[in-house]
């Protein structure tokens, strides 16, 4: 087994690292305080091919393997999770789902726009009444002549106010639970669709998180993605791959926590020596370092399974579960190394902890990941 990166993989990782140093790091604190990442970042991400990784070149994608996608996601997450999330959602949850499930016409309509950053996508699954139990969603799409009329509310939608297209999940019949759910590609400027920014988030403050309200939104039948009634399978297949991307972003947070803590421990002096010489500080640093390695290896395994065409869903849940919990632990340990200065936003570790915290919640909470892993072990579903 060879864990060394190929020349191409190292080149794409370095490209992302340099991009972050140039276009992201100088603005991180300002974007976080203003609760607003500069939207021009989207076209820059598209220009370097980061919004088209693993999407076939014939649809405007930049191709590449899933490990390269993880490497870019890790570097973006190391720089700013709000920026990383733009890619994980617009590429990971929306473009890749269109590439897998879309008609030829849908692929030609949306993929060149999404992969270039001319357009951005959001993933509309969660509702005020259904989060973990997404199959019970209440948004309805009613057949009307040659199309559908959709009404309902979606909440916590990443990229929500920026998006040009919503990958939206709605109920098309009264079958119980997930069986009646279908997926749609809804242009965000369709009359009847309104959006409201959700302010006051603990972390990911720069990210455009929104509530979407749909009131009699009329769309043609050509907006249906995949077969009617298959929406829940489409959502779950998107989230299974999405969990690898969240895990890679968490590795980025954990690595950033390690870098910052090691640097600070080598500079800060207490009791007449740098704090790195205190053994209990070394314990904090080594705990972070082991978590970084373990989270990265679990994440890379998912990429390897996908690229070899093997089953990856349970491995993705394990990676997401471990990496998200590890990111919280690592950022918290790093904050401890910084002492009181860690609590002030001029230093990076407080933001890392705030950004890490949501990773155990979205794309399936830690409890939901454990149920998925338990189901794979026992063959018995707790859902």
Ligand X SMILES: Cc1cc2nc3c(=O)[nH]c(=O)nc-3n(C[C@H](O)[C@H](O)[C@H](O)COP(=O)(O)OP(=O)(O)OC[C@H]3O[C@@H](n4cnc5c(N)ncnc54)[C@H](O)[C@@H]3O)c2cc1C
The residues that touch ligand X, with contacts defined as CB under 6 A, are 89, 122-126, 131-132, 156-158, 201, 204, 209, 358, 361-363, 365, 367-368, 371
Contact in structure between 314 and 298 (CB atoms under 8 Å): no
Looking up tokens 């609760």 gives: 35
Q: How do strand 140-144 and strand 273-274 relate by DSSP bridges?
A: unpaired
Is 225 or 265 the residue whose CB approaches ligand X more closely? 225
Q: Shortest CA distance to 69 belongs to which of 381, 306, 311?
A: 306
Is 120 or 330 the residue whose CB approaches ligand X more closely? 120
Is 209 or 317 the residue whose CB approaches ligand X more closely? 209
Q: How far is the CB of 171 from ligand X (least distance, A)?
A: 15
Q: How far is the CB of 202 from ligand X (least distance, A)?
A: 9
Q: How do strand 209-220 and strand 193-197 relate by DSSP bridges?
A: antiparallel
Phi/psi for 123 (5° steps) reads: -120, 105
Is 100 or 336 the residue whose CB approaches ligand X more closely? 100
Minimal CB distance to ligand X: which residue? 131
Strands (E), the chain: 121-124, 140-144, 147-158, 165-171, 181-187, 193-197, 209-220, 224-225, 269-270, 273-274
329 CB contacts (<8 Å, ≥6 apart)?
Answer: 287, 288, 291
363 catalytic? Reply is yes
| Helix 349-357, helix 231-267: angle, nearest 10 | 160
Is 265 or 368 the residue whose CB approaches ligand X more closely? 368
Q: How far is the CB of 303 from ligand X (least distance, A)?
A: 22
DSSP state at residue 190: S
Is 126 or 324 the residue whose CB approaches ligand X more closely? 126
Contact in structure between 315 and 301 (CB atoms under 8 Å): yes
Q: How far is the CB of 367 from ligand X (least distance, A)?
A: 3
Q: Shortest CA distance to 156 belongs to which of 219, 98, 202?
A: 202
Q: What is the total residue count of the chain?
A: 383
Q: Measured between alpha carbons, how far is 375 from 270 in angstroms, rounded to an integer? A: 50
Q: How far is the CB of 243 from ligand X (least distance, A)?
A: 11
Q: How far is the CB of 356 from ligand X (least distance, A)?
A: 12
Q: How far is the CB of 131 from ligand X (least distance, A)?
A: 2
Tell me the longest C-alpha to C-alpha distance in the chain. Answer: 79
Active-site choice (23, 74, 211, 363): 363
User: How buried is 120 (Cβ within 10 angstroms: 0-12 exposed, 13-18 middle, 19+ buried)?
Assistant: buried
Is 238 or 334 the residue whose CB approaches ligand X more closely? 238
Looking up tokens 């991400």 gives: 45
Rounded to a whole number of angstroms, the distance between the first and last alpha carbons of the chain is 36
Catalytic (active-site) positions: 363
């Amino acid at each position: 087994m060879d864990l060394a990166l190929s020349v191409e993989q190292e080149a794409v990782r370095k490209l992302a690292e340099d991009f972050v140093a140039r276009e992201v790091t100088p603005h991180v604190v300002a974007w976080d305080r203003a609760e607003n990442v500069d939207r021009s970042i989207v076209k820059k991400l598209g220009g370097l091919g980061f919004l088209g990784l693993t999407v076939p070149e014939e649809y405007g994608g930049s191709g590449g393997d899933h490990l390269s996608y993880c490497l870019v996601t890790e570097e973006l997450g190391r720089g700013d999770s709000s920026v990383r999330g733009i890619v994980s959602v617009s590429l990971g949850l929306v473009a890749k789902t269109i590439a897998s499930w879309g008609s030829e016409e849908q692929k030609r309509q949306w993929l060149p726009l999404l992969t270039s950053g001319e357009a951005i996508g959001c993933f509309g699954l969660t509702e005020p009444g259904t989060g973990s139990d997404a199959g019970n969603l209440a948004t309805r799409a009613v057949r009307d002549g040659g199309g559908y009329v959709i009404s309902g509310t979606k909440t916590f939608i990443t990229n929500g106010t920026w998006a040009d297209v919503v990958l939206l999940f709605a109920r098309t019949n009264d079958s119980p639970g997930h069986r009646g759910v279908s997926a749609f590609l809804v242009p965000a400027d369709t009359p009847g669709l309104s959006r409201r920014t959700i302010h006051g988030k603990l972390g990911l403050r720069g990210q455009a998180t929104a509530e979407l309200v749909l009131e009699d939104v009329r769309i043609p039948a050509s907006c249906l993605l995949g077969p009617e009634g298959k929406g829940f399978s489409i959502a779950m297949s998107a989230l299974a791959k999405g969990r690898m991307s969240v895990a890679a972003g968490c590795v980025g947070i954990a690595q950033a926590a390690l870098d910052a803590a090691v640097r600070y421990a080598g500079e800060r002096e207490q009791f007449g020596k740098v704090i790195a010489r205190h053994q209990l500080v070394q314990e904090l640093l080594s705990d972070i370092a082991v978590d970084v390695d373990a989270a990265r290896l679990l994440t890379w395994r998912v990429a390897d399974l996908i690229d070899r065409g093997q089953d990856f869903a349970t491995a993705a849940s394990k990676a997401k579960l471990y990496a998200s919990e590890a990111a919280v632990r690592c950022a918290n340990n790093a904050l401890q190394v910084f002492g009181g200065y860690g609590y002030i936003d001029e230093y990076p570790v407080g933001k890392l902890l705030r950004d890490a915290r949501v990773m155990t919640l979205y794309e399936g909470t830690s409890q939901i990941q454990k149920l998925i892993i338990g189901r794979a072990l026992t063959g018995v579903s707790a859902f």
